[in-house]
Amino acid sequence: MENQKFTEAISALEVAEAIYKDACAKCTADVYDLRDLETIRSRVKDQGISFLTITLPNFYKDFEASLEAGYVDSTSFRSFRKHGSLPSFLKGMTSLIFDRETGRIYDNKTNPFASDVPSVIDCVRQICLAFTNLELGRNRSDL
C-alpha cells in the first residue's frame, strides 16, 4: 500500500510539472520560474498528493478572492512564504497582476502587463485546479 502511494505521488508530480510547463507556455507573458517547480517538488515530497489536491486549490481560492477584493489580504496564502505582500509561489505570475509591496491590484491603465492578465489568471487556474477532483487508490471496480 505504501509503495502504491509513493508511485501515485511520483506520477502526480510528473503530471503537475507538465501542467505547470504547459500553462506557462500558453501564457502570453514569460512567467516560467524554476523555483515554482522546485516548490511543487518539495511540497509533494513533504505533504504528498494533498499539496496538489488541497493546498493548490486553496491557493487558487485566495487568488480568486484577491482578484475580487482588488488586493491581497494579509491573511491570504497562509500556506506559502511571502515576498512582500505576494506569495513567493507563482510570484512571477501574481506580480503581473498585484503590486508586490502593497498587494493592490494594478490599474489596467498603468499596468504594462494589462493585456497579459487574462492569460496569467488562466495559467494560475490551470496549475492550481488540475488535481481538484482527483481520486486516488480506487480500483476500477469501485467506480
CB 49 within 8 A of CB 136: yes
pLDDT of residue 2: 57
Q: What is the three-class DSSP state of 28?
A: coil
Q: Which residue has the cell 488535481?
A: 131
For 43, phi and psi rounded to 5 degrees? -70, -35
pLDDT of residue 58: 97
Arithmetic mean of pLDDT, 8-21: 88
pLDDT of residue 3: 60
Q: How confident is the model at residue 142 (pLDDT cuts 50, 70, 90)?
A: very low
Q: Which range, of 37-41, 44-48, 122-126, averages the lowest pLDDT?
A: 44-48
Residue type, 99: D
pLDDT of residue 104: 96
pLDDT digits (tens, 9 = 90+) for 91-139: 999 999 999 999 999 988 888 889 999 999 999 999 999 998 765 544 4
pTM beyond 0.95 = no
pLDDT of residue 139: 43
Arithmetic mean of pLDDT, 56-78: 96
